[in-house]
Amino acid sequence: MLRRNIETLEVTFMPQSEPIAVQKHRVVIVGGGFGGLFAAQALGRSGYDVTLLDKRNFHLFQPLLYQVATGTLTVGDISTQQRVVLRKYANVRTLLGTVYDIDVDRQIVYYEGGEAPYDTLIAATGVKHQYFGNDHWREHAPGLKTVEHALEMRHRLFRAFEEAEKTSDPALRRQLLTFVIVGGGPTGVELAGALGDLTQRVMVGNFRQIDPRDARVILVEGADNILPPYDNSLRDAAKRMLEELNVEVRTQAMADDITAEAVRLRHKNGETETIETRNVLWAAGVTLSQFGRTLAARTQGETDPRGRLVVDEQLRMPSHPNIHVIGDLACAPDGKGGSLPGLAPVAMQQGRYVAKLLKRQAKGKPPKPFKYLDKGSMAIIARYRCVGEIFGWKVKGAFAWLVWSLVHIASLIEPDQRMTVTIQWLSRFFGTSADRLITGNPPKTADIQAKHQVKLPSSK
């Protein structure tokens, strides 16, 4: 500022005050699944400072995870680096780290390696498998929520066929070629269908001592029907399709005990049944992720019987309006007196909704409640076999299978993924090749020799 001193005729400059830095509204997203990733994308190029925290550096397209477990696709086919997806948004950063605690009063999320202050928190960590108080079953009955689960399941499945090929013990061979899937929801049905297709078509002729068609695939569901949320006609159609693939469907039965060599079922009438098997696959029941448990404890938030955090029509925790919960972690009202299902389309729409809600708030506009647009749901059994409902229209068979394929290809995050999966599916459609590699470190020869007490002459 120019000032003239009349007495000395000096011209001096008065320092101007520094501009006050305005801190951007900080949005922290915990979890890079469908809900978290879609929220981060929708907040790209906005006036918000966005941080996406995840224990993994990639987004996993979970609806196709069972195809990794059964050898149709590879992990790379359904995984995309979060950093690559969000690279064009300068206001969004991704951090790799496990979130282990949260201070809701100071509004800080603590993760391995640092902390992230927030003005708005979006919790999107999903859920994990629940064994209903029998966590020791996990060792014998792997679930299907992560890449590691899928690879472990694939290892067990194809290892079982290899072990059955070389054994001369009929009882052991029957155990190895018996596969029990616990849980008759979409995941269990799709897994059972894929296994049925493997044993009845894909792997036929690959072995000399066994016939894969002799394998037993058993689907167990505690309710009266498989696919409980679906219409009766679609349930019946799905059951017929499974039985065409030699899959045994057991309803009104629940797992009562699982060991390394058998599963005991308890039927609705009180009777028990023991099935000797070395292969039990878990697709029943979910519960809060560890961060979900932490968030529920720190906020004293209400949970539903399935362990999901109860939110209002704006997907906010009632006790903490600056915390939004989306995806499988949320018990969100469906507008009909119930709650929304834990489906990928629900999480996608919720992620976009919260981003839009924040933008409206920044402009001083009133909030609008979340409304889920239900485009339908589908469950694929095998090639040409699928059931579903699209905008209220019930579809089944080859047409439903084609629609399912197109929808899932279109839903993949990156264009190169869509092309890769299309090529993979076409190759499986016209042939029987599959990714049936048994990965992992094989036993060391020296260890096997020690087990069988092989003694070698000392070298000179």
Cα of first residue to Cα of last residue in the chain, in angstroms, is 95
Strand 178-182 with 127-129, pairing: unpaired
Neighbours of 234 (CB within 10 A): 23
In one letter, which amino acid is 44?
Answer: G
| Residue positions counted in the chain | 460
Beta strands in 283-355 (DSSP E): 286-288, 309-310, 316-317, 320-325, 330-331
Rounded Cα distance between 347 and 326, Å, is: 6
Distances (CA, A) of 436 to 157, 160, 433: 9, 12, 8
- Choosing from 162, 190, 244, 273, which is the catalytic residue? 190
Rounded Cα distance between 39 and 414, Å, is: 16
User: Helix, strand or coil for residue 136?
Assistant: helix
In the beta sheet, which residues pair with residue 254? 266
Residue 144 contacts residue 184 (beta carbons within 8 Å): no
In the beta sheet, which residues pair with residue 427? none
CA proximity to 123, closest of 306, 354, 342: 354
User: Helix, strand or coil for residue 318?
Assistant: coil
Question: Could you identify the residue written with the tokens 């900080």?
Answer: 26
Angle at alpha carbon of residue 56, lines to 53 and 57, rounded to 5°: 85
Rounded Cα distance between 399 and 76, Å, is: 28
CA proximity to 128, closest of 308, 324, 333: 308
User: Helix, strand or coil for residue 158?
Assistant: helix
Residue 386 contacts residue 406 (beta carbons within 8 Å): no
CA proximity to 152, closest of 170, 138, 172: 138
Q: Is 190 a catalytic residue?
A: yes
Q: What is the largest CA-CA distance in the chain?
A: 114
Give the residue numbers marked as catalytic: 190
